[in-house]
Amino acid sequence: MLLPLLRSHPLLLHRAARLSSPRTRLLLRRDALPLARSPPIRMAASSGSGASSPAPAPPAAVVHKSKIKFCPACGSPTKLAIPDGDEKMRAVCSSCGRVHYENPKMVVGCLVEHDNKVLLCRRKIEPAYGLWTLPAGYLEVGESAAEGASRETLEEACADVEIVSPFAQLDIPLIGQSYIIFRARLKTPNFSPGAESLECALFALDDIPFDSLAFSSIIVTLRMYTEDVRSGSIKFHYCTINKRLGASPSDLRSFDIDNHIAV
């Protein structure tokens, strides 16, 4: 009875195919989990009731324009060109011909757990001044990702931590950033605002200020962590955050989550 009905109604057949796809089933299962004070992140399908909504358009291809105006080797102006054997526009020195490549920046940080709470810092610097974040920052040359995450936590929260395990890797192609967030624990129950923080505080899961978080990466990380804790199984997560052109870094509806893997 159902198959002939679907065949006679192409729109119904299309919707049934979408609902049966592995990606849609995964999103429906994830959306069924309640979250504390957490505005919905826009995804391709939604609603724990089982209803589906139209998938957003795929993210536009990122066309990166090099910011390298002068050759670091000889100081001459650069020009944008596609080198032989390449497919992308690069900054090429107009004098010595060197090709200069730009690579994504690595951001590392800690999700510090203590007495069933997480440590957050309220930013004292732009961007996102006054908003809450996990202690995190750019990885320095000469340090491992775990060392960098511990250093950032010490700098921003004056907290000495022990790394427990990696928790999430989040790629943000549009702005050329890749995040690695580690679970960590306080070695001593001491912390205080560093030079880049207005204040630091421990938050229970129900009290996490999702409406006042600084960046999409922090929102996604804390949502995943909240879901894991409530399910009784903390996993390692990978996903891509596709930000929309011109969106504010802290705009709660400025991004979509794709390629989410939890193991």
Same domain, 224 and 114: yes
Q: Tens digits of per-residue pLDDT, 81-117?
A: 999 999 999 999 999 999 999 999 999 999 999 999 9
Report percent pLDDT > 90 for the chain: 67
Helix (H) or strand (E) holding 78: strand 78-81
The values of phi and psi at residue 105, to 5°, are -95, 145
Q: Are residues 139 and 86 in the same domain?
A: no
Alpha-carbon gap, residue 21 to 18, rounded angstroms: 5
**Residue 49 within a domain:** no
What's the mean pLDDT in 14-38? 38
- Give the domain range for residue 69: 65-102
φ, ψ for residue 147, nearest 5 deg: -65, -40
For residue 127, how many other CB atoms are within 10 A of its CB?
11
Same domain, 245 and 182: yes
The answer to whether residues 90 and 211 belong to one domain is: no
Sign of the Cα torsion 74, 79, 84, 88 reads positive
Considering the domain architecture, whether residues 74 and 137 belong to the same structural domain is answered as no
Give the total number of structural domains in the chain: 2
Band of the pLDDT at 25, cuts 50, 70, 90?
Answer: very low
Band (246; pLDDT cuts 50, 70, 90): confident
Using an 8 Å Cβ cutoff, are 46 and 29 in contact? no
* Same-domain check for residues 130 and 244: yes
Query: Do 77 and 190 have their domain in common?
Result: no
Domain at 98, CATH number: 2.20.70.10
pTM of the predicted model as reported, rounded to 2 decimal places: 0.73
Give the pLDDT confidence score for residue 66 in this predicted structure.
Answer: 80
Q: What is the pLDDT of residue 53?
A: 43
| Segment 134-187, tens digit of pLDDT | 999 999 999 999 999 999 999 999 999 999 999 999 999 988 999 999 999 999
Is the same domain home to 70 and 111?
no
pLDDT value for 31: 38
pLDDT computed for residue 174 by the predictor: 87
The share of the chain scoring above pLDDT 70, in percent, equals: 74
Same-domain status, 79 and 121: no
pLDDT for 49: 37
Of 102, 126, 148, which residue is a domain's last? 102
pLDDT of residue 249: 61
CATH of the domain at 158: 3.90.79.10
Cβ atoms of 181 and 167 within 8 Å: the answer is yes
Q: Taking the CA atoms of the chain, what radius of gyration do you get in angstroms?
A: 22
Among 102, 128, 158, which residue terminates a domain? 102
Q: Which residue has the higher pLDDT, 127 or 18?
A: 127
Burial of 159: CB neighbours in 10 Å, binned 0-12, 13-18, 19+: buried
Q: How confident is the model at residue 250 (pLDDT cuts 50, 70, 90)?
A: low
- Per DSSP, the residues of 109-168 read EEEEEETTEEEEEEESSSSSTT-EE-SEEEPPTTS-HHHHHHHHHHHHH---EEEEEEEE
109 is a domain residue = yes
Report how far residue 262's alpha carbon sits from residue 114's, in angstroms, rounded to the nearest whole number: 23
With 60 as the cut, is the pLDDT of residue 44 above it? no
Whether 140 maps to a domain, the answer reads yes
Residues 129 and 249 in one domain: yes
Under 8 Å between Cβ of 214 and 242: no
Residues 91 and 203 in one domain: no
pLDDT of 128 strictly over 80: yes
